[in-house]
Amino acid sequence: MVVRVVSIDDSELCLLGIQQAIEASELSWVRGIGSLQELRSLVDSQPFDILISELRIDSDDMLEYWQLHPELHDKCKLILFTYNENVTHFARAAACGVWDFVSKRGPIHRLIRACQSAADHVKPTDSILNVARQYMHSDHSFTTSETHPLTRRERQVLAHLALGLSNREIARSISVSLETVKEHVQNVLRKIKVNDRTAAAVWALRNGLPTFPLDPVTFLARTETQRERDENHLIG
């Protein structure tokens, strides 16, 4: 089965590098595009299976676009390939159903592996998105008053708030309706006695929410080292 790849990036040099890497693999290169307007036209005219995208295309947020166009989810798998690495991006990508998040600072074969896992419909075990999902869905404990303790779901919502996710992203992450998330958010703000999401995030970090367990550079180095060890063991 031919697996067709499209890449969107506002850097022509980056698109050329991705094209060369894809053409050297068993995947099929379709084309590179430089704007979301081109992507909209391509969706209607050209079938493809994998979309490799920068996080931001000019001033556009790819994750926002992905959320607003759910018809794309059945058409292709999204792999973010970017220098924009922070915890909020990891959490948003995990919540939005992105297939993988690959750093441009790493080796190109990491991107090819992500594409191959998408082609095989097997989630990559070494993705930082797995760490983000586990962190967001863990039952973190917080210091609250005995009179108004947070429920397990409210603690989960608070962890998402602390990572900077929108209500829509939280709803998708924990599989509840948008209205339910809004209700949870209001209950959290009332119980911890703060007025807005920023204050809630500060409160969470001061009252028990652990920091995200790793940074992208450390994670990338760790996963690549482990994979090299595994491959050398198999060869040996």
**Would 18 be classed as within a structural domain?**
yes
Q: Are strands 50-53 and 77-82 parallel, antiparallel or unpaired?
A: parallel
**Would 58 be classed as within a structural domain?**
yes
73 and 184 within one domain? no
User: Nearest to residue 144, comparing CAs of 153, 155, 159?
Assistant: 155
For residue 148, give its domain range: 141-206
Structure tokens at 113: 């592996």
CATH label of the domain that carries residue 33 = 3.40.50.2300
155 and 107 within one domain? no
User: How high is the pLDDT of residue 59?
Assistant: 87
**Whole-angstrom distance, CA of residue 173 vs CA of residue 186:** 18
178 and 78 within one domain? no
User: How high is the pLDDT of residue 149?
Assistant: 87
User: How high is the pLDDT of residue 16?
Assistant: 96
Provide the domain count of the chain: 2
User: How high is the pLDDT of residue 235?
Assistant: 40
SS3 label, residue 59? coil
Task: Decide which of 63, 91, 125 is a domain's last residue.
Answer: 125
Global pTM reads 0.87
183 and 70 within one domain? no
**Would 60 be classed as within a structural domain?**
yes
| Torsion of the alpha carbons at 114, 57, 129 and 116, rounded to the nearest 10 | -10
Partnered with residue 192 across adjacent β-strands are: none
**Would 181 be classed as within a structural domain?**
yes
User: How high is the pLDDT of residue 143?
Assistant: 75
CATH label of the domain that carries residue 194 = 1.10.10.10
User: How high is the pLDDT of residue 233?
Assistant: 43
CB 79 within 8 A of CB 115: yes
**Would 120 be classed as within a structural domain?**
yes
What's the pLDDT tens digit per position in 127-155?
999 999 999 999 888 876 666 689 999 99
**Would 56 be classed as within a structural domain?**
yes
**Would 236 be classed as within a structural domain?**
no
User: Nearest to residue 52, comparing CAs of 26, 24, 21, 74?
Assistant: 21
176 and 102 within one domain? no
Instruction: Report CA-CA distances (Å) from 173 to 22, 27, 55, 209.
Output: 31, 30, 19, 18
Low-confidence stretches of the chain (pLDDT beneath 70): 144-148, 214-236
**Whole-angstrom distance, CA of residue 213 vs CA of residue 166:** 22
